[in-house]
Chains A and B, each alone.
Chain A
């Protein structure tokens, strides 16, 4: 059987039941493809065993880039390219450069981080989502289990595990 095509879905109504179910199902040796929720469920990433996101590092690096670019730009323009005496101060009046430096740091950190987030989460204008269940964005949490990765366990066994851990519905979903 091909991977990433045929799934068995457990539908959950309650986030606390879902959290317990994820822990139990993972313990029983089943590999969970992904859990889809209508809102962020706190602790879900931990029980699924996801590592902490490295996006803060991306934000920091982009911020650093912003700081460097802003200071270099202002120093070059005000001191090297066309030095002018303004208010009797040094051409490179660093205290006066701080506001613009701060703004460009924030700008690049924010845009850089969001850009990385969009790329890593595959979000783009006109992007098409693979929708497991229309109610994911409404009121249901859906746990997707790939039948191919869990080929050792039968479909009935997986359905049983899902039902036992509190799923209110068990469905099947196949993608082309």
Chain B
């Protein structure tokens, strides 16, 4: 199986890669063979196929995706390689990285951090199990609503975002949005997350 298709990799926890040209049944089939090949490793990681698939957008109807699936533990990351469109939702026990936009009406939920390499216009909930140290970062942060831990916030009305990468985090009980400073990111360094 080539890199163009789907791979499961990652040393700590699990990283699932969904390539763009695949539909769910095909993905399921490929995942099945992949999973069979790495069964012992996956058992340790506590991941089943249904969990992987519940992260595949359309498959997870809002009601059914309540258990955070996709990646088995909090330190792992789900990489989503396409734009998340209205009505689609991904959720993950670890972090989520979206290579694309998150459009209005779409939802990303992670117990860890959320990183959008594109424009975040939908709803993002980082630290979904109450971790208020989680962050949401995006190339352009224009969310409908931001939730971090137990806090819910709306962007201030009438203010146009700067068009630069920004990070949202909780500071003294409030969600604040700051410009992203490549060298000033101390979040990981102080042992949180």
Do chains A and B interact in one complex? no
Residues on A facing B (Cβ under 8 Å): none
Interface residues of B (CB under 8 A from A): none
